[in-house]
Structure 1
């Protein structure tokens, strides 16, 4: 077994791999960009090596710097995690050349399965069914267009290299193709360094099911059952579970055999995943999608129901050991479900978010596992994927596992960064999800039912105001009564006023009088009610009109963050909001919806545009977002260029409406 292993990744997967290395007594080496200096994975590892600036291309994607770090630290092997260099054949070759073991499949398997075009040709030869489409390498834009027309709309454009939904586009009409092809190529180049595209028939009412395989260097290949990954948005998985509620024993065996044959076809070794798409209306028909020649994000649900540590198996296989079990030994015990916690705002189209983790609440309990890289002080930027953590629940039955996960998400809160935790809870309580009626279009169909934020109840506004009151009160004994900011005066106390606002909401006026230990609170036009509040570090306990609630609370930069029952509210003092919004304007002003980099400018000053015309493209956390004209008019301001970075809510363009005709003005 290896003495030292370098982990060529970051975030929660780096933390997860390092923990297994520690359990096995193996010295761990972390690498990090300048942006990740001091990140949790660097603190957990035995050694941490800086490898470059924040952009991934200059750090985590630099083969030369990663291999150099391994050689400097005496690492005998490199674990690539997932994403970044995990399926990069040149990286695998570089490891081999340097005499370092690549903890993954052989170069030939990566070449065969890493290119989706070649992968399809390989599995077809092995008798595995595939989705109809056109998979010729090096197709031009014109050839992609012809292929889409031949396959028939709707079609799916997919990058040949990579996965994770990056660069994928659903196209429903021929006129949509030019923009879709251009966007898919840009995103594929940014994420994988390769803009090759393939075209597939888009299976609308589909279920995404994948099979976990393990193969050793002695010719043994087995599967560990399947995972259902149908709950997706933007072709990116959100909730995964094992086993699938769709498959019966016969279907599971059939799909498992197909996965093993696909792995055998390329001489696969290590842990890998064979992905299939299944027509929800004809579940016995399944088609090969692709093979991921690496560990998957959702591997914990398989670990939960099989009792195997897949990272340990990867290490043992890479060290030349035989698989400890054969297919007949594999048993699936109970049910496991995983939810991915992202730094994103579901109410704003799942736009990526950034910020600093000011407070953190993570769940514990029977059957609960959290894979996370979060810690108070962690800076969440726009350079990398927005996934922050995974919450996994296991139980003997699917319903109990689902209920446990809902409860665990109720004890999950990240203060300082907007996340999708509330959305995940809503999704897991959807009637179709509860019943196991899943498909890849479910989230899109539900729309606002899952993503519209609920306004905070009055109790939350009162708690925020009381938290601010506590901060302003003197900590020691009162020497001069006039020093106490509680509105006291001769006669009766006066009301002090706080105006608080959540993003997208109206300001709420909260009036207070008295001290936090014995106060009166009036919310809006409501009647005054008795209140008291105590704070112990980051915990705030509030009793309002006889109702007591406890919050995790942080106050920073004019915003009070409160978390309770898995819901986080960020209430900004109105004065700060006014200053923040000054100059933002309205009407034709276009602002950046998240921090990121401008990748394309599609308009120029003086252009006449219609409402909805694309103006520019901003990329953040490996996803592209097209900013469009909010109204018809003339582009009179365009203050950015391709390659420029922009901040959240930064003004990037202005569209001036066409002046109304004289008779319209008169009317």
Structure 2
């Protein structure tokens, strides 16, 4: 490809400065266009899918992003070594880093993104609001400065704290209680400083039950700016999008056009070039045109596939063509939206429900480990953008996003139905994922009707978490596992009974054989099997249940247990796991966790353990300190997210095992809280 303006740049090789599913997706378009793709990787990603699919791969350095994907000099060296003429940043990492864009163009390469000046303007939320406001785009009331407490109090509660240099919802905090403002501002600054190197904050008035709607824009170097319709992104968890769709079920044609024109003005205000997204907040459920600019993402969005499916445009292709100096050959009147598309983000994470009643809450914790089996869906209207494959090692160094499952149909109900079915056919063994949660969310009455708002997921999350694996399923699995370990009869039709795990013993009743199984992040369950291959099964301290193997073959087995017959299929993965259970290599076919939703309450024990591998970034408590239930004691950071560790009950910190900067393993003991309030703790404000 080549630029046709005065700053001509020819390139036939493109370095993708990213990883995971977005790198794989960019490589797919490069291959279709006949361009050579260069992948980069850290040591942790040496065997990653994007490395395997690229034409050329270059090692950057160790696993930490600062030593690999964020290391500008190493990225430029990789481009020089491979003869790359352009760099595509994907999203995340350096995609919205103006200094990186300048370094790329300064090295004589094409940057597949907007000018550095546009990134600077829109990357600073304060400057961005000022720029678009001057262009006549409505903005959310807010302010900034040294005295954020005063600004927030003048706006009135509730307010939203936002890192000025941030994006993607990271570091944003909703504050409803003025008494907590100082503590929340401190935490928001800490997150902003860690994630973006800048702790400047913006405070905005919070609009209750808002819609989050964004407009995709596309601009070339001649000054032509078009909008490609909107995406509804209101289904969020802690300000992180998890389901997106196009078009929005809310907007009428007049509002759609008004927001499109506002997005074009915002892009023109910063001299934009390439693909970008202007995000708006829309008040309530009405279509009365009340929309406010939030920010502009100067990059490709995670959710861009839904726009591609309804417009028929390949956004990565047009990013490349614009970077090569080509002008857009179509106008605004040539853009039309066909059908409906919905995307769900599949992440490696475990949901844990704690508390009871109105105090119930859900924590989504990163899950890591090798992927023992990956099966992705296909079918009419189904698209999968994935960065994983069987054998991929999911670590704790990067974002937990594994893949995006997208469905397109002639209308919204068809797209939703196809997406739910596609998620049901998505299999990832080795780590826990949120696929069952996503299916339950897509079946929520308000989601079906289109009555969305950004607080819906957080409000109903506890009711959407799949139930724990029923005891009868553990029982059936243990029986099958024992049968699998029972030796087959030899040529003479005889098998040594002492080799069978049957509990048989001379002159006495058979002893029960224990099998220890674990599903996801739940506590291990011990199942006792009596007989060979099993006459009864007992889960934990429960009653014995008659059980028997009723059919077994090379690829399928059936177990009768508790009055039900369970069918298992054999996954040919050595040491594999079925249904998240350790041990054995069978997967259950007919247990649907979405159909048996329940809560899995926390243990409330005294020892506080790390919910995931990560780094301790804050320690707020000390040994001997009196604490109250729910009080934040430590913060563990993993996969770009902060996870507060709170006191399970009133009591005293009697042990503290870690300090700031310590790297911790999953389930590692962090602190101990002994029940019973210490003297002076009662009524103390914290």
2:81 and 2:272 mapped to 1: Cα distance? Answer: 30
Q: Which residue of 2 aligns with 1:481?
A: 495
* TM-superposed deviation, 1:320: 0.8
- Within a 5 Å distance, the mapping from 1:148-159 to structure 2 comes to 148-159=152-163
**Match of 1:377, SS?**
coil
Q: Which residue of 1 aligns with 2:341?
A: 336
Deviation string, structure 1 residues 323-358 (Cα, Å, up to 9, x no partner): 132111111111110000111112351112212211
Q: Which residue of 2 aligns with 1:131?
A: 140
**Match of 2:93, SS?**
coil
Matched, 1:653 2:653: no
Matched, 1:320 2:345: no
Matched, 1:291 2:261: no
2:678 and 2:628 mapped to 1: Cα distance? Answer: 15
* TM-superposed deviation, 1:264: 1.2
**Match of 2:407, SS?**
strand
1:566 and 1:300 mapped to 2: Cα distance? Answer: 31
> More displaced, 257-266 or 552-561?
552-561
1:551 and 1:192 mapped to 2: Cα distance? Answer: 46
- Within a 5 Å distance, the mapping from 1:542-557 to structure 2 comes to 542-544=558-560, 547=565, 549-551=567-569, 553=571, 555=575
Deviation string, structure 1 residues 297-318 (Cα, Å, up to 9, x no partner): 0000111111111111100110
Q: Which residue of 1 aligns with 2:101?
A: 92
- Aligned with 2:621 (options 594, 603, 614): 603
* TM-superposed deviation, 1:607: 2.3
Q: Which residue of 1 aligns with 2:455?
A: 441
Matched, 1:267 2:271: yes
Structure 2 unaligned segments of length 5 or more: list them. 2-10, 354-362, 595-602, 680-686
Kept in 2, the 8 Å contact 1:410–1:566? The answer is: no
1:19 and 1:475 mapped to 2: Cα distance? Answer: 52
1:660 and 1:619 mapped to 2: Cα distance? Answer: 30
Question: Structure 1 length as normaliser, TM-score?
Answer: 0.90
- Within a 5 Å distance, the mapping from 1:329-408 to structure 2 comes to 329-348=334-353, 349-408=363-422
* TM-superposed deviation, 1:33: 1.0
Shift of the 249–462 alpha-carbon distance from structure 1 to 2, 3 Å rule, reads same
- Within a 5 Å distance, the mapping from 1:204-219 to structure 2 comes to 204-219=208-223
Shift of the 564–371 alpha-carbon distance from structure 1 to 2, 3 Å rule, reads farther
2:15 and 2:505 mapped to 1: Cα distance? Answer: 66
1:221 and 1:9 mapped to 2: Cα distance? Answer: 27
1:461 and 1:360 mapped to 2: Cα distance? Answer: 26
Matched, 1:170 2:174: yes
Q: Which residue of 1 aligns with 2:356?
A: none
Shift of the 529–639 alpha-carbon distance from structure 1 to 2, 3 Å rule, reads closer
Q: Which residue of 1 aligns with 2:476?
A: 462
2:509 and 2:380 mapped to 1: Cα distance? Answer: 50
Kept in 1, the 8 Å contact 2:350–2:364? The answer is: yes
* TM-superposed deviation, 1:73: 1.1
- Aligned with 1:562 (options 577, 587, 590): 587
**Match of 1:251, SS?**
helix
- Aligned with 2:197 (options 193, 206, 219): 193
Kept in 2, the 8 Å contact 1:372–1:388? The answer is: yes
1:102 and 1:179 mapped to 2: Cα distance? Answer: 40
- Within a 5 Å distance, the mapping from 1:224-303 to structure 2 comes to 224-284=228-288, 285-303=290-308
Kept in 1, the 8 Å contact 2:608–2:670? The answer is: yes
* TM-superposed deviation, 1:504: 3.7
The CA RMSD measured in Å over matched residues stands at 2.7
1:199 and 1:586 mapped to 2: Cα distance? Answer: 35
**Match of 2:61, SS?**
coil
Q: Which residue of 1 aligns with 2:313?
A: 308
Q: Which residue of 2 aligns with 1:644?
A: 662
Deviation string, structure 1 residues 622-663 (Cα, Å, up to 9, x no partner): 1111112223333232121111110111001122345899xx
1:233 and 1:541 mapped to 2: Cα distance? Answer: 39
Q: Which residue of 2 aligns with 1:575?
A: none
Q: Which residue of 1 aligns with 2:226?
A: 222
**Match of 1:350, SS?**
strand
Structure 1 unaligned segments of length 5 or more: list them. 570-584, 662-667
**Match of 2:287, SS?**
strand
> More displaced, 289-298 or 611-620?
611-620
1:632 and 1:274 mapped to 2: Cα distance? Answer: 46
Kept in 2, the 8 Å contact 1:344–1:351? The answer is: yes
Kept in 2, the 8 Å contact 1:209–1:226? The answer is: yes
* TM-superposed deviation, 1:586: 7.3
Kept in 1, the 8 Å contact 2:369–2:430? The answer is: yes
* TM-superposed deviation, 1:467: 3.6
* TM-superposed deviation, 1:295: 0.3
* TM-superposed deviation, 1:21: 0.7
Kept in 2, the 8 Å contact 1:422–1:566? The answer is: no
**Match of 2:670, SS?**
strand
Q: Which residue of 2 aligns with 1:574?
A: none
Runs of 4+ with >6 A deviation:
488-493
* TM-superposed deviation, 1:42: 0.7
1:120 and 1:332 mapped to 2: Cα distance? Answer: 29
Q: How many aligned residue pairs are there?
A: 637
* TM-superposed deviation, 1:123: 0.6
* TM-superposed deviation, 1:490: 10
- Aligned with 2:122 (options 113, 116, 119): 113
- Within a 5 Å distance, the mapping from 1:480-629 to structure 2 comes to 480-483=494-497, 485=500, 487=502, 497-499=513-515, 500=517, 502=519, 503-504=521-522, 507=525, 509=527, 511=529, 513-514=531-532, 522=537, 525=543, 528-534=546-552, 536=554, 540-544=556-560, 547=565, 549-551=567-569, 553=571, 555=575, 558-560=582-584, 562=587, 564=589, 587-629=605-647
Question: Structure 2 length as normaliser, TM-score?
Answer: 0.87
**Match of 1:145, SS?**
helix
- Within a 5 Å distance, the mapping from 1:65-104 to structure 2 comes to 65-104=74-113
Kept in 2, the 8 Å contact 1:466–1:533? The answer is: no
* TM-superposed deviation, 1:185: 1.6
> More displaced, 493-502 or 237-246?
493-502
* TM-superposed deviation, 1:154: 0.5
